[in-house]
Amino acid sequence: MLDPRVASLVKGLFGEHYKKMNASDIAPKAVEKREFGFGDFEKKIAFRHVAFKSAEELKRYLVENGPPFVNASAAEYERPDGRPMEAKGWIGSELIFDLDATDLKLPCQQVHGRQWVCDICLSSIKKETVRLIEDFLIPDFGFSASDIEINFSGNRGYHVHVMNDDIFRLASSARRQISEYITGSGIDPEKLFWLLPVEKEGRKSFEVLHGPTPSDGGWGGRLAKGLVGALGTGIGTLEEMGIEREWAGKLFRNRTAVMLGISSGNWDMIKIPKKEEFWKRVVKNMAIKQSDSIDRNVTNDTQHMLRLPNSLHGDTGLSGKRLGSVSELDRFDPMEDAVAFRNGTLEVMVQKAQKFTMLGTEFGPYDNRKEELPLSVALYLLLKRVAVLPNQ
Ligand SMILES: [Zn+2]
């Protein structure tokens, strides 16, 4: 349980923050058709089925209650407060992707645990988000940049929303196929390759393994481009693709011939045992790591709720941020640009925390130290549950 003094301090600060915002910057499109859900400090969605008639009404609620978590439906409904779900009258849903640093299974997470977020976590999940948009959504699905909205979640990930007329009415099954394609789970690499018989004096004499070329679209082209690119970089990059060291070495030594072959669709230079496993591993490494077991269904669940863009996050005190484009995402630094409380200080007792940077200043590492810190830093540590308020 969070210290009740911290809980009421945070709710008060959150309310004041919302008071200063324009209602139109808080409310999602079609606010009156969205279902809202609110969380407390223990549960991200404690209650739902809430509706607001206007942006102003939503703002008023946030100012009065300062909720730690504000969630809004990706769907629009005729009656967003109707229950059960079937009574709401589903009109359509955005297509959403939930990318979270913990799904990347980074080595740093073994060191700092799931609750903490470091620079590596933040930069890796940003790269993954750019890859989703630039390597999949735009080239393979033909979405245009203006259909895509990116939101910083307020903690350690990004939510990507895709919205156009074709997507809006798409059924769950079609959404699942998109998710499977992007996460590589719907891809059978074996189907991308075939044996081409070569004839000599009118008789079949041998077979050559053929496959995709770098100019092909979809997964075939992605594999070919990925392998050619990695061959040009080095053994380490090949290993990052999921290729075992021994094979990475062999491929790299023969790279000129291998690259030349792939450029014309001839993959015969790559004589690898257990090919099926090999390619599955490579596909898995090139796929987008979307949220695991619990959230894998985010994309195909047409009733899912996500953190309201631009709302505050109760585990960090940081603000979610709506980012207009990939180039805006590139420039975005969460520990600077998502800081909501830029004035004041607060004395806290920091129990244990790794070094981190916020507002351009390095803090920590801490080990049981009482310190007066900038308000945003103190809130971050309190809400990450690595600091407490002093006892008087
Ligand atoms: Zn990390």
Lowest mean pLDDT across 116-125, 198-207, 377-386: 198-207
Dist. CA 116 → ligand 1 center (Å): 7
- Radius of gyration over alpha carbons of the chain, in Å? 25
- Global confidence as pTM: 0.90
Helix, strand, coil % (nearest 5) of the chain? Answer: 40, 25, 35
Dist. CA 118 → ligand 1 center (Å): 4
Q: Which sequence spans correspond to the domains of the chain?
A: 4-182+291-336, 189-286, 341-392
What value, to the nearest 5°, has the Cα angle with vertex 317 and ends 314 and 320? 85
Dist. CA 355 → ligand 1 center (Å): 11
Dist. CA 124 → ligand 1 center (Å): 9
CB 322 within 8 A of CB 151: yes
Specify the 3-state DSSP secondary structure of 153.
coil
Dist. CA 29 → ligand 1 center (Å): 34
Closest by CA to 287, choosing from 218, 191, 356, 210, is: 218
Sign of CA pseudo-dihedral 304, 310, 311, 312: positive
Query: In this structure, which CATH number among 3.90.920.10, 3.30.70.20, 3.40.50.1820, 3.40.640.10 belongs to the domain 4-182+291-336?
Result: 3.90.920.10
Dist. CA 209 → ligand 1 center (Å): 41
Dist. CA 292 → ligand 1 center (Å): 17
The DSSP result for 235-252, as a single string, is: HHHHHHTT--HHHHHHHH
pLDDT digits over 139-189, tens only? 999 999 999 999 999 999 999 999 999 999 999 889 988 988 998 887 888
Q: Can you give the pLDDT at residue 207?
A: 79
Is residue 294 scored above 50 in pLDDT?
Answer: no
pLDDT digits over 241-284, tens only? 888 888 899 999 999 999 999 999 988 877 777 777 777 888 88
Is residue 5 scored above 90 in pLDDT?
Answer: yes
Is residue 300 scored above 80 in pLDDT?
Answer: no
Second-level CATH architecture of 341-392: 3-Layer(aba) Sandwich (3.40)
Dist. CA 351 → ligand 1 center (Å): 19
Dist. CA 266 → ligand 1 center (Å): 40
Closest by CA to 313, choosing from 16, 36, 61, 70, is: 70
Common-topology check for domains 4-182+291-336 and 341-392: no
